[in-house]
């Protein structure tokens, strides 16, 4: 049945998760995702027994409430989703608007899941008042209830009793990291380089982020970072300082959906950075870790 993925989410690392897992050392006790989103890497790691414990954190409180429901009341959540999904038929547009209003009033996790399943690009958008204001993509009806139930229940089975959930700033959860943990960092999308002033990663201060990485290095905490990349000739993301001592891998993330819409065949390449402490923990002699020089798509920073 494959790896479950219950939360439709823009920026999900679902397609790259199994490649990223190759860089999680065998001695990993706990995998920490400070920018969890749909936690594609943690779910894949649980599926492949790559860590014993998991810590999922995201600043988006309704999202973490949804995670709490997935783990602790999966059948109840699946029933809530089914109820909404079945009632939308023949009135999809108006029903989405109704559920969105109800979500903004109640913040209920089942409403949030339905909105993510139906909204444009599965992209979370809030207005200044903190209300969810993303429009419906009326071509997306949302997963059929049986499929959604299967993803929810199988995710709960993988993570129940092994996962802690937090809804705070990424720096707070990093304070709890230990030497046998691995941190997977996937900060907010930085957009294409044109137009961005470079000081922020979609709301996150870049300099503070770099300082946090320096601190992790000093404490010997191993981390994997998804950061910049390019599609065709378009680059996105600011450079990271060489002094961080990161090893850069370039992963083929497949055809960009945006480029496909425009009739182009551009492939997106995403950078993955491995921290010095992580490299030290990987078994360089194993097949899992390919030396940099022998990988055509890999370059050192």
Ligand X SMILES: C[S@@+](CC[C@H](N)C(=O)[O-])C[C@H]1O[C@@H](n2cnc3c(N)ncnc32)[C@H](O)[C@@H]1O
| Residues 115-144 within binding reach of ligand X (CB under 6 A) | none
11: left (phi over 0), alpha (psi -120 to 50) or beta: left
Among 4, 6, 8, 34, binds ligand X (CB under 6 A): 34
Q: What angle do CA 143, 189, 150 make, to 5 degrees?
A: 20
Q: Check residue 206 for interaction with ligand X (CB under 6 A).
A: no
Q: How far apart are CA 83 and CA 93, in angstroms?
A: 16
Nearer to ligand X, 60 or 104 (CB): 60
Q: Check residue 11 for interaction with ligand X (CB under 6 A).
A: yes
Nearer to ligand X, 37 or 229 (CB): 37
Tally of residues, the chain: 301
Q: Check residue 188 for interaction with ligand X (CB under 6 A).
A: yes
Give Cα separations from 48 to 22, 127, 169 (angstroms).
Answer: 11, 39, 28
Nearer to ligand X, 35 or 96 (CB): 35
Q: Check residue 60 for interaction with ligand X (CB under 6 A).
A: yes
From 52-60, 68-76, 156-164, 251-259, span contacting ligand X (CB under 6 A): 52-60
For residue 188, what is the DSSP state? P
| Residues 146-175 within binding reach of ligand X (CB under 6 A) | 169-170
Alpha helix (H) residue ranges in 4-73:
17-21, 40-47, 61-72
Among 35, 67, 95, 236, binds ligand X (CB under 6 A): 35
Question: How many positions of this chain bind ligand X (CB under 6 A)?
Answer: 21
Q: Are strands 53-57 and 163-166 parallel, antiparallel or unpaired?
A: parallel
Among 4, 6, 8, 13, binds ligand X (CB under 6 A): 13
- State the minimum distance, in angstroms, from the CB of residue 168 to ligand X: 7
Beta bridge partners of 280: none
Contact 142, 117 (CB under 8 A): yes
From 77-85, 183-191, 236-244, 286-294, span contacting ligand X (CB under 6 A): 183-191
Q: How far apart are CA 129 and CA 157, in angstroms?
A: 36
- State the minimum distance, in angstroms, from the CB of residue 187 to ligand X: 6
For residue 289, what is the DSSP state? S
Among 47, 53, 59, 140, binds ligand X (CB under 6 A): 59
Among 123, 180, 204, 288, binds ligand X (CB under 6 A): 204
Contact 165, 155 (CB under 8 A): no
The two structure tokens encoding residue 257? 């959906």
Q: How far apart are CA 288 and CA 21, in angstroms?
A: 10
From 11-19, 22-30, 89-97, 208-216, span contacting ligand X (CB under 6 A): 11-19
Contact positions toward ligand X, by CB under 6 A?
9, 11-13, 34-35, 37-40, 57-60, 169-170, 186, 188-189, 203-204
């Amino acid at each position: 049945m494959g790896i479950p993925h219950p939360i439709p989410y823009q920026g999900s690392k679902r397609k790259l998760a199994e490649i990223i897992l190759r860089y999680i050392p065998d001695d990993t006790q706990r995998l920490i995702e400070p920018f969890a989103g749909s936690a594609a890497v943690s779910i894949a790691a649980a599926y492949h027994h790559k860590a014993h414990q998991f810590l999922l954190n995201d600043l988006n409180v309704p999202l973490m409430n949804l995670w709490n429901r997935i783990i602790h009341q999966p059948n109840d959540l699946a029933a809530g989703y089914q109820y909404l999904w079945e009632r939308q038929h023949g009135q999809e547009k108006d029903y989405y608007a109704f559920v969105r209003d109800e979500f903004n009033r109640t913040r209920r996790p089942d409403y949030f899941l339905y909105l993510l399943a139906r909204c444009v690009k599965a992209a979370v958008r809030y207005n200044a008042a903190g209300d969810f204001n993303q429009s419906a993509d009326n071509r997306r009806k949302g997963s059929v209830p049986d499929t959604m139930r299967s993803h929810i229940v199988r995710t709960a089975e993988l993570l129940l009793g092994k996962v802690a959930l937090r809804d705070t700033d990424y720096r707070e959860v990093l304070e709890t990291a230990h030497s046998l943990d691995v941190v997977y960092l996937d900060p907010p999308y930085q957009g294409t380089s044109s137009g961005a002033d470079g000081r922020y990663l979609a709301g996150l201060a870049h300099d503070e982020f770099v300082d946090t990485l320096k601190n992790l290095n000093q404490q010997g905490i191993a981390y994997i970072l998804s950061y910049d990349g390019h599609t065709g000739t378009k680059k996105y993301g600011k450079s990271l300082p060489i002094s961080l001592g990161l090893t850069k891998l370039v992963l083929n993330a497949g055809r960009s959906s945006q480029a496909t819409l425009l009739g182009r065949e551009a492939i997106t390449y995403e950078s993955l950075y491995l921290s010095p402490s992580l490299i030290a923990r990987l078994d360089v002699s194993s097949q899992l870790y390919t030396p940099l020089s022998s990988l055509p798509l890999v370059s050192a920073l």
